[in-house]
Each structure stands twice: as structure tokens, then as C-alpha cells.
Amino acid sequence: MRFPPGIASVEEIAADWDPPSLGTGREIRAALDACLPGIVYTEDGWGDYEGPGFSLSTPVKEADDAPVTGVGLFIHGDCETAAHAALAVADKLNARAVATGTEGFLTADSARSAFDAWRAYRDRIVSGGEAA
């Protein structure tokens, strides 16, 4: 999303904030195509991408001319490279990505720590430990 400038976390977003458009469905798919060569779109509007050590799915169901305010990237895999793919998409859209599991935004500097936090969470869940 194109989050308000100057905020450090999603907790700082005003309750009445209305996110601006990232572009149309057509423009979003073009940005994804540029960042994720070989992404394949299914009939139901999902984009699927196989990267080095990870896969990524994203719902882009909006019509070609419909405005899009946010893009969700569902990443599967066990490598930090996925964070860099998410950053490339955010950069192409002139947007910022949220580091899932944290209150902050994903940056090149935080990619490793965000990945480590996700891995620790996954390991707790897989081993039967309690989630925080």
C-alpha cells in the first residue's frame, strides 16, 4: 500500500485513513510481470510465481481499469530471497510492504530480521508450541 509518509508502523495509521490507489488492475499486473518474470495468472484472478527457494501467490482480481489500493503477497518457502521479491514489487508500485508478524515496514535492512522472526514463529507452530 501507499502508506502515509513519515510513519514507522501500521499502528500509527489514523483510523480514518483512506489508502490511495496503486494503479489499475492492468497496471498492477504489469508491475508484477516486471518484478516477477514468469508469473502466471489463473482464471480466478490469482497470480502464481515460482522463485528461487520460494513461491508466491497474489490475488489481483480487479478489472483492468479498476483502481487497486493494496496488493497482498502470500509467500511460501524458507529463504530470505522472498523478502527481496516483495520489496521489488513494493518499489515498483511506489509503495511500502508490511513485515508480517511485526508492526513495522519491510525494508532491505529489516528483511533478515523479519525472515528470522517468521521462521521462529513457524518453528513454534510446527513443534506444537504456543503462538504469541
pLDDT tens column, 61-88: 999 999 999 999 988 877 778 888 999 9
pLDDT score at 35? 96
Positive or negative torsion for Cα 54, 119, 122, 93: negative
Question: In this prediction, what percent of the chain has a pLDDT beyond 90?
Answer: 56
pLDDT score at 122? 73
Question: Residue 103 — very low, low, confident or very high, per pLDDT cuts 50/70/90?
Answer: low
What phi, psi does 113 have (nearest 5°)? -70, -35
Quick check: helix, strand or coil at residue 6? coil
Contact assessment for residue 21 and residue 69, using Cβ atoms and an 8 Å cutoff = yes
pLDDT score at 114? 72
Global pTM? 0.83
Q: For the segment 35-58, what is each residue's pLDDT rounded down to a tens digit?
A: 999 999 999 889 999 999 899 999
Rounded to the nearest integer, the mean pLDDT of the chain is 88
